[in-house]
Structure 1
């Protein structure tokens, strides 16, 4: 049993040298020399059989050659991607219906990736916005000069609730025109986003 555990732990190492491969071959040989003890000891559960013709046990003989050819088993183990199985398969399948679930799963994963990347972009822009604000002020000279501003009257019936809530939260600012540019009975207002310039 110790030889079996030693073989398993050696196979999980990220790097293996020639001495390690020799030890693995020795552990494998010790295990096969003493594996009949499992047949002689009753009441260990599982299906009873009188042989050890099991593919996984046979594959152990080829481990040293495969390691020479492909590298350490850690690099091509399915356990590496096992942690992603819940996030990429199980949860995604629950978000779909049984009809054409493969196409729905791929579409759902694509959308989630785009949302994630968009979030990273927005976070990066918010971090850089405060640094670039001073540099953006040099373009203020190109804005039209307004001598006198008139008060903005927002009509709640005409404005959408989302626009009003953004104005109240000061995420967008109302922009007005001078009285000289407006007619006597005309109420004029426009909404501009803040900041005026896109940061690229």
Structure 2
């Protein structure tokens, strides 16, 4: 997606609009942009105007209501915006069973960036940090174009957020914001610990139990 809306240049990371039983169309969108002064990524959760079609949610390129998330930590902004975006989806009648999952994937796709010509192919993976654990959970991908490997790594971080139990290793490993920043900025192999898990981008897929 990533079309730009509004005079402030918000990239639409996700949007949803549909007809309600009252005959009107309701919708919302999630947008992001770089703050030109701080380089932090800011997010916006905006509702579209109710209308008579799928195409009349904006007026002069503007939306109905909005809430911005522009704190000093880009990942916190994204996480807070996702939470609010899901809450708003009930008010605009666009919620479905996979709404949060689909939006999270859209956020990670945006953060992973576009395809980069000449970039190396890497595999993404994760496993429990303790090598002596009886059940060595984890997984990895095949070698992928860089932007796809970053996307998969961000997906691993999102899907294993609860099991990583990062709150128990606060101050010992990276926090979520630091981990996401490393993943999005990666231009080659890397390895880091977040909570009780180890994550990586590697030139070759390591032997890891799925």
Fold shared per TM-score above 0.5: no
Report the structure number with the largest CA radius of gyration.
1
TM-score (norm 1): 0.18
Of Structure 1 and Structure 2, the greater strand share is in: 2
Of Structure 1 and Structure 2, the greater helix share is in: 1
